[in-house]
Structure 1
Protein backbone atom coordinates (compact mmCIF):
# COMPACT_ATOMS: atom_id res chain seq x y z
CA UNK A 1 0.00 0.00 0.00
CA UNK A 2 2.80 2.44 0.88
CA UNK A 3 4.69 1.49 -2.27
CA UNK A 4 1.61 2.11 -4.43
CA UNK A 5 1.03 5.52 -2.83
CA UNK A 6 4.70 6.44 -3.27
CA UNK A 7 4.70 5.58 -6.97
CA UNK A 8 1.43 7.43 -7.47
CA UNK A 9 2.81 10.53 -5.75
CA UNK A 10 6.03 10.39 -7.78
CA UNK A 11 4.06 9.93 -11.00
CA UNK A 12 1.76 12.85 -10.23
CA UNK A 13 4.68 15.09 -9.35
CA UNK A 14 6.49 14.22 -12.61
CA UNK A 15 3.29 14.59 -14.64
CA UNK A 16 2.70 18.15 -13.44
CA UNK A 17 6.21 19.50 -12.99
CA UNK A 18 7.70 17.54 -15.88
CA UNK A 19 5.02 18.99 -18.15
CA UNK A 20 5.70 22.47 -16.75
CA UNK A 21 9.44 22.03 -17.38
CA UNK A 22 8.82 20.80 -20.93
CA UNK A 23 6.64 23.82 -21.72
CA UNK A 24 9.14 26.30 -20.26
CA UNK A 25 12.16 24.68 -21.90
CA UNK A 26 10.53 24.38 -25.33
CA UNK A 27 9.24 27.94 -24.97
CA UNK A 28 12.78 29.21 -24.38
CA UNK A 29 13.97 27.31 -27.46
CA UNK A 30 11.34 29.09 -29.59
CA UNK A 31 13.38 32.32 -29.30
CA UNK A 32 15.96 30.80 -31.68
CA UNK A 33 15.78 31.40 -35.43
CA UNK A 34 16.17 27.68 -36.04
CA UNK A 35 12.87 27.08 -34.25
CA UNK A 36 11.17 29.72 -36.40
CA UNK A 37 12.45 27.94 -39.52
CA UNK A 38 11.23 24.61 -38.14
CA UNK A 39 7.79 26.09 -37.43
CA UNK A 40 7.65 27.63 -40.88
CA UNK A 41 8.16 24.22 -42.47
CA UNK A 42 5.41 22.73 -40.31
CA UNK A 43 2.99 25.60 -40.96
CA UNK A 44 3.59 25.58 -44.72
CA UNK A 45 2.83 21.87 -44.91
CA UNK A 46 -0.28 21.89 -42.73
CA UNK A 47 -3.67 22.35 -44.35
CA UNK A 48 -4.93 23.59 -40.99
CA UNK A 49 -2.25 26.25 -40.35
CA UNK A 50 -0.69 27.35 -43.66
CA UNK A 51 -2.97 30.42 -43.85
CA UNK A 52 -1.23 31.93 -40.79
CA UNK A 53 1.90 32.74 -42.75
CA UNK A 54 -0.07 35.36 -44.71
CA UNK A 55 -0.50 37.38 -41.53
CA UNK A 56 2.63 36.82 -39.43
CA UNK A 57 6.21 35.82 -40.08
CA UNK A 58 7.39 32.49 -38.80
CA UNK A 59 9.67 34.32 -36.34
CA UNK A 60 6.76 36.36 -34.94
CA UNK A 61 4.69 33.21 -34.66
CA UNK A 62 7.60 31.51 -32.90
CA UNK A 63 7.80 34.37 -30.38
CA UNK A 64 4.06 34.16 -29.69
CA UNK A 65 4.40 30.42 -29.09
CA UNK A 66 7.47 31.01 -26.89
CA UNK A 67 5.67 33.37 -24.53
CA UNK A 68 2.57 31.17 -24.51
CA UNK A 69 4.56 28.04 -23.68
CA UNK A 70 6.57 29.70 -20.93
CA UNK A 71 3.38 31.15 -19.45
CA UNK A 72 1.66 27.75 -19.53
CA UNK A 73 4.64 26.12 -17.82
CA UNK A 74 4.63 28.71 -15.04
CA UNK A 75 0.86 28.41 -14.57
CA UNK A 76 1.10 24.62 -14.33
CA UNK A 77 3.86 24.88 -11.73
CA UNK A 78 2.10 27.30 -9.37
CA UNK A 79 -0.70 24.92 -8.36
CA UNK A 80 0.36 24.79 -4.69
CA UNK A 81 -0.16 28.56 -4.38
CA UNK A 82 -2.71 29.34 -7.10
CA UNK A 83 -4.95 26.40 -7.94
CA UNK A 84 -7.31 28.37 -10.22
CA UNK A 85 -4.46 29.87 -12.24
CA UNK A 86 -2.97 26.40 -12.55
CA UNK A 87 -6.31 25.21 -13.92
CA UNK A 88 -6.02 27.91 -16.61
CA UNK A 89 -2.52 26.65 -17.41
CA UNK A 90 -3.84 23.11 -17.71
CA UNK A 91 -6.64 24.18 -20.03
CA UNK A 92 -4.20 26.13 -22.20
CA UNK A 93 -1.86 23.13 -22.27
CA UNK A 94 -4.74 20.90 -23.40
CA UNK A 95 -5.55 23.41 -26.15
CA UNK A 96 -1.96 23.79 -27.39
CA UNK A 97 -1.24 20.06 -27.28
CA UNK A 98 -4.59 19.26 -28.86
CA UNK A 99 -3.69 21.51 -31.77
CA UNK A 100 -0.31 19.83 -32.04
CA UNK A 101 -1.89 16.37 -32.10
CA UNK A 102 -4.33 17.56 -34.80
CA UNK A 103 -1.29 18.53 -36.87
CA UNK A 104 -0.36 14.86 -36.89
CA UNK A 105 -3.54 14.16 -38.83
CA UNK A 106 -3.60 17.26 -41.06
CA UNK A 107 -0.03 17.49 -42.35
CA UNK A 108 1.74 15.29 -44.84
CA UNK A 109 4.96 16.64 -43.34
CA UNK A 110 4.73 14.15 -40.45
CA UNK A 111 5.22 11.11 -42.69
CA UNK A 112 8.58 9.81 -43.88
CA UNK A 113 9.05 10.97 -47.48
CA UNK A 114 8.39 8.18 -49.94
CA UNK A 115 6.87 5.85 -47.36
CA UNK A 116 3.70 7.35 -45.88
CA UNK A 117 1.77 5.75 -43.05
CA UNK A 118 2.96 4.39 -40.62
CA UNK A 119 6.51 5.72 -41.18
CA UNK A 120 6.80 8.95 -39.17
CA UNK A 121 9.30 11.67 -40.04
CA UNK A 122 11.33 13.29 -37.25
CA UNK A 123 8.62 15.98 -37.05
CA UNK A 124 5.96 13.29 -36.85
CA UNK A 125 7.81 11.57 -34.04
CA UNK A 126 8.05 14.89 -32.20
CA UNK A 127 4.33 15.50 -32.58
CA UNK A 128 3.41 11.93 -31.60
CA UNK A 129 4.95 12.46 -28.16
CA UNK A 130 2.48 15.32 -27.73
CA UNK A 131 -0.27 12.72 -27.47
CA UNK A 132 1.14 11.59 -24.12
CA UNK A 133 1.75 15.20 -23.06
CA UNK A 134 -1.89 15.90 -23.95
CA UNK A 135 -2.86 13.19 -21.46
CA UNK A 136 -0.64 14.76 -18.81
CA UNK A 137 -2.24 18.17 -19.47
CA UNK A 138 -5.73 16.66 -19.19
CA UNK A 139 -4.71 15.09 -15.88
CA UNK A 140 -3.44 18.48 -14.67
CA UNK A 141 -6.83 20.02 -15.47
CA UNK A 142 -8.62 17.32 -13.49
CA UNK A 143 -6.14 17.65 -10.63
CA UNK A 144 -6.70 21.41 -10.46
CA UNK A 145 -10.49 21.23 -10.36
Structure 2
Protein backbone atom coordinates (compact mmCIF):
# COMPACT_ATOMS: atom_id res chain seq x y z
CA UNK A 1 0.00 0.00 0.00
CA UNK A 2 2.81 2.43 0.90
CA UNK A 3 4.60 1.71 -2.39
CA UNK A 4 1.39 2.25 -4.38
CA UNK A 5 0.68 5.52 -2.58
CA UNK A 6 4.25 6.68 -3.14
CA UNK A 7 4.04 5.98 -6.88
CA UNK A 8 0.63 7.64 -7.12
CA UNK A 9 1.78 10.83 -5.40
CA UNK A 10 4.97 10.93 -7.48
CA UNK A 11 3.05 10.46 -10.74
CA UNK A 12 0.57 13.14 -9.75
CA UNK A 13 3.38 15.48 -8.71
CA UNK A 14 5.24 14.99 -12.00
CA UNK A 15 2.04 15.63 -13.97
CA UNK A 16 1.20 18.79 -12.02
CA UNK A 17 4.80 20.04 -12.21
CA UNK A 18 5.01 19.78 -16.01
CA UNK A 19 1.48 20.74 -17.03
CA UNK A 20 1.01 23.25 -14.23
CA UNK A 21 4.24 24.98 -15.26
CA UNK A 22 3.11 24.99 -18.89
CA UNK A 23 -0.27 26.42 -17.92
CA UNK A 24 1.31 29.14 -15.74
CA UNK A 25 3.71 30.18 -18.50
CA UNK A 26 0.91 30.30 -21.10
CA UNK A 27 -1.36 32.24 -18.74
CA UNK A 28 1.40 34.75 -17.95
CA UNK A 29 1.98 35.06 -21.68
CA UNK A 30 -1.64 36.05 -22.30
CA UNK A 31 -1.41 38.60 -19.49
CA UNK A 32 1.52 40.24 -21.30
CA UNK A 33 -0.90 41.53 -23.93
CA UNK A 34 -2.33 44.00 -21.40
CA UNK A 35 -1.04 47.58 -21.43
CA UNK A 36 -0.48 47.60 -17.67
CA UNK A 37 2.03 44.75 -18.12
CA UNK A 38 3.93 46.84 -20.67
CA UNK A 39 4.11 49.72 -18.19
CA UNK A 40 5.40 47.31 -15.53
CA UNK A 41 8.00 45.90 -17.95
CA UNK A 42 9.13 49.41 -18.82
CA UNK A 43 9.65 50.27 -15.13
CA UNK A 44 11.41 46.99 -14.48
CA UNK A 45 14.00 47.16 -17.26
CA UNK A 46 14.42 50.90 -17.83
CA UNK A 47 17.13 51.33 -15.20
CA UNK A 48 18.87 47.99 -15.55
CA UNK A 49 21.16 46.19 -17.94
CA UNK A 50 18.31 45.49 -20.36
CA UNK A 51 17.43 49.14 -20.95
CA UNK A 52 19.16 49.04 -24.35
CA UNK A 53 16.20 47.04 -25.69
CA UNK A 54 13.97 50.07 -25.23
CA UNK A 55 16.02 51.91 -27.88
CA UNK A 56 14.73 49.45 -30.48
CA UNK A 57 11.31 48.38 -29.20
CA UNK A 58 8.50 50.08 -27.38
CA UNK A 59 7.49 48.40 -24.11
CA UNK A 60 4.27 47.32 -25.83
CA UNK A 61 6.07 45.67 -28.76
CA UNK A 62 8.51 44.01 -26.37
CA UNK A 63 5.65 42.65 -24.28
CA UNK A 64 3.92 41.25 -27.35
CA UNK A 65 7.11 39.45 -28.40
CA UNK A 66 7.55 38.08 -24.87
CA UNK A 67 3.88 37.05 -24.79
CA UNK A 68 4.16 34.98 -27.97
CA UNK A 69 7.43 33.42 -26.78
CA UNK A 70 5.87 32.49 -23.44
CA UNK A 71 2.81 30.94 -25.04
CA UNK A 72 4.94 28.88 -27.43
CA UNK A 73 7.29 27.90 -24.58
CA UNK A 74 4.40 26.69 -22.42
CA UNK A 75 2.91 24.68 -25.29
CA UNK A 76 6.28 23.12 -26.12
CA UNK A 77 6.79 22.11 -22.48
CA UNK A 78 3.49 20.25 -22.49
CA UNK A 79 4.23 18.35 -25.73
CA UNK A 80 6.48 15.72 -24.10
CA UNK A 81 4.15 12.77 -24.88
CA UNK A 82 4.08 13.84 -28.54
CA UNK A 83 7.59 15.23 -29.10
CA UNK A 84 10.41 15.06 -26.57
CA UNK A 85 12.69 17.38 -28.60
CA UNK A 86 10.05 20.12 -28.64
CA UNK A 87 9.57 19.65 -24.90
CA UNK A 88 13.32 20.03 -24.38
CA UNK A 89 13.24 23.30 -26.32
CA UNK A 90 10.30 24.43 -24.22
CA UNK A 91 12.29 23.65 -21.08
CA UNK A 92 15.35 25.51 -22.36
CA UNK A 93 13.15 28.49 -23.26
CA UNK A 94 11.53 28.47 -19.82
CA UNK A 95 14.91 28.24 -18.06
CA UNK A 96 16.23 31.14 -20.13
CA UNK A 97 13.11 33.20 -19.42
CA UNK A 98 13.35 32.65 -15.66
CA UNK A 99 17.11 33.28 -15.52
CA UNK A 100 16.59 36.63 -17.25
CA UNK A 101 13.73 37.41 -14.86
CA UNK A 102 15.74 36.48 -11.76
CA UNK A 103 18.67 38.59 -12.96
CA UNK A 104 16.40 41.63 -12.63
CA UNK A 105 16.43 41.12 -8.85
CA UNK A 106 20.03 42.29 -8.94
CA UNK A 107 19.82 45.00 -11.59
CA UNK A 108 16.42 46.70 -11.34
CA UNK A 109 15.81 49.57 -8.98
CA UNK A 110 12.13 48.83 -8.37
CA UNK A 111 12.53 45.39 -6.80
CA UNK A 112 13.59 46.68 -3.38
CA UNK A 113 11.33 48.47 -0.92
CA UNK A 114 12.18 52.16 -1.10
CA UNK A 115 14.26 53.23 1.89
CA UNK A 116 14.86 49.71 3.21
CA UNK A 117 17.04 47.76 0.78
CA UNK A 118 17.86 44.10 1.32
CA UNK A 119 15.88 41.97 2.23
CA UNK A 120 12.74 44.12 1.87
CA UNK A 121 11.34 43.32 -1.57
CA UNK A 122 8.75 45.50 -3.25
CA UNK A 123 5.72 43.92 -4.92
CA UNK A 124 7.77 43.75 -8.14
CA UNK A 125 10.56 41.96 -6.29
CA UNK A 126 8.13 39.52 -4.72
CA UNK A 127 6.74 38.77 -8.18
CA UNK A 128 10.23 37.95 -9.46
CA UNK A 129 11.19 35.90 -6.38
CA UNK A 130 8.73 33.14 -7.34
CA UNK A 131 10.70 32.66 -10.55
CA UNK A 132 13.43 30.88 -8.58
CA UNK A 133 11.04 27.97 -7.96
CA UNK A 134 9.74 28.15 -11.54
CA UNK A 135 13.35 27.96 -12.77
CA UNK A 136 13.81 24.76 -10.77
CA UNK A 137 10.62 23.31 -12.27
CA UNK A 138 11.79 24.30 -15.76
CA UNK A 139 15.18 22.69 -15.23
CA UNK A 140 13.51 19.49 -14.04
CA UNK A 141 11.15 19.46 -17.04
CA UNK A 142 14.11 19.94 -19.38
CA UNK A 143 16.05 17.06 -17.84
CA UNK A 144 12.96 14.85 -17.79
CA UNK A 145 12.47 15.41 -21.53
CA UNK A 146 16.05 14.53 -22.48
TM-score bracket for the superposition, by shorter chain length: over 0.9
Q: Which residue of 1 aligns with 2:44?
A: 42
Distance (whole Å) between structure 2 residues aligned to residue 81 and residue 71 of structure 1: 15
Any runs of at least 4 consecutive aligned residues in structure 1 with deviations exceeding 3 A, and if so which? none
Q: Which residue of 2 aligns with 1:28?
A: 30
Cα contact 2:44–2:109 (8 A) shared by 1:
no
Distance (whole Å) between structure 1 residues aligned to residue 32 and residue 123 of structure 2: 18
Of 4, 7, 13, the match for 2:6: 4
Q: Normalising by structure 1, what TM-score?
A: 0.96
Cα deviations across residues 10-49 of structure 1 (Å, max 9, x unaligned)? 1111111111001110100111111111111101132x21
Distance (whole Å) between structure 1 residues aligned to residue 85 and residue 108 of structure 2: 35
Provide the aligned length of Structure 1 versus Structure 2: 144
Q: Which blocks of at least 5 consecutive residues in structure 1 are unaligned? A: none
Structure 1 position 131 matched with structure 2 position 118:
no
CA-CA distance at 1:5 after TM superposition: 1.3
Pairwise mapping of residues 106-125 of structure 1 onto structure 2 (< 5 A)?
Answer: 106-125=107-126
Q: Normalising by structure 2, what TM-score?
A: 0.96
The 3-state SS of whatever aligns with 2:130 is helix
Q: Which blocks of at least 5 consecutive residues in structure 2 are unaligned? A: none
Cα deviations across residues 53-78 of structure 1 (Å, max 9, x unaligned)? 11110000000000000000100111
Q: Which residue of 2 aligns with 1:91?
A: 92
Q: Which residue of 2 aligns with 1:80?
A: 81
CA-CA distance at 1:50 after TM superposition: 1.1
Q: Which residue of 2 aligns with 1:104?
A: 105
CA-CA distance at 1:105 after TM superposition: 1.5
